[in-house]
Amino acid sequence: MLAATDLHTDYGLSRALFGMSLTIARGECVALLGRNGVGKSTTMRSIMGLTPPASGHVHWKDQDITGWRPDRVARAGIGFVPEDRRVFSELTVFENLDVARRASGRHDRAQRWTTDSVCALFPKLALLRDRRAGTLSGGEQQMLTIARTLMGNPELLLLDEPSEGLAPLVVETLLAQVQQLKADGLTILLAEQGVAFSLALADRVYVLEKGRVVHEGSAAALRDDTALRDRLLTL
């Protein structure tokens, strides 16, 4: 469904990715693991067109989308949930969702997301419908950000550090909601420092270090091999 090949991505004079490659099949959940600053978010930004790679290619359903504007990537079917959430703080929950619906241009799927369906997935949002987004808690804002992205009817969801800064009980609720998205067939690329969160969701994992892939394999193998997990994630 998506293939990123030999991505080299820079921030000014500083290189963040050194030949990053990954593939995602339809219906998979693939996790990017590694410490903060190893290139997980940059990989997502490179795919999304927010930080275009200096070299390498991103193919989406057999089409080369390298260098496309982020809005064009989104309309092609890739939704991005950023690490810093970026809710429209002065707008209500409903208005945040409605802005995404109006902007998406994605009306070709038979079962597209609506305000009612995202509120069914995140029931708390229905209760907070008329609250300004800037007054929500971190967990509520994370639910809103995912719901807002779903309003664009993505076929692939990029989730960047969804559990960061959230209380354990909120993380458990969020994990169950993302598991439901996966069970419903949504393809997911997850960047996450929380190993337990990632391994509870992922089918396959890529472990990154200094902008490079140092391990690729099944999530089950990493979950079951404590020695391998300790070696890879304490680099």
Specify the higher pLDDT residue, 102 or 46: 46
What per-residue confidence (pLDDT) applies to 112? 72
If asked whether residues 99 and 54 sit together in one domain, one would say no
> SS3 for 17?
strand
What per-residue confidence (pLDDT) applies to 80? 95
User: Burial code of 178-198, b = ≥16 C-beta within 10 A, e = fewer?
Assistant: beebbeeebbbbbbbbbbebb
If asked whether residues 163 and 69 sit together in one domain, one would say yes
Asked which of 112, 133, 154 is the last residue of a domain, the reply is 154
**CA–CA separation, 147 vs 140, rounded Å?**
10
If asked whether residues 67 and 12 sit together in one domain, one would say yes
**CA–CA separation, 43 vs 113, rounded Å?**
26
If asked whether residues 124 and 159 sit together in one domain, one would say no
pTM of structure: 0.91
Asked which of 154, 178, 212 is the last residue of a domain, the reply is 154
196: Cβ contacts below 8 Å, ≥ 6 apart:
none
Domains: count for the chain? 2
If asked whether residues 141 and 166 sit together in one domain, one would say no
Per-residue pLDDT tens over the stretch 99-142 = 988 876 655 555 578 999 999 999 999 999 999 999 999 999 99
If asked whether residues 162 and 146 sit together in one domain, one would say no
Asked if 215 contacts 32 with a C-beta cutoff of 8 angstroms, the reply is no
If asked whether residues 128 and 164 sit together in one domain, one would say no
If asked whether residues 208 and 231 sit together in one domain, one would say yes
**CA–CA separation, 153 vs 127, rounded Å?**
23
Task: Find the Cα–Cα–Cα–Cα dihedral 191, 210, 212, 190, rounded to 10°.
Answer: 0
Six-digit token string for 12: 């000014």
Q: How many CA atoms lie within 13 A of 180 on its CB side?
A: 12
**Host domain of residue 189:** 1-77+155-235
Is the pLDDT reported for residue 147 higher than 90? Answer: yes
Range 6-35 average pLDDT: 96
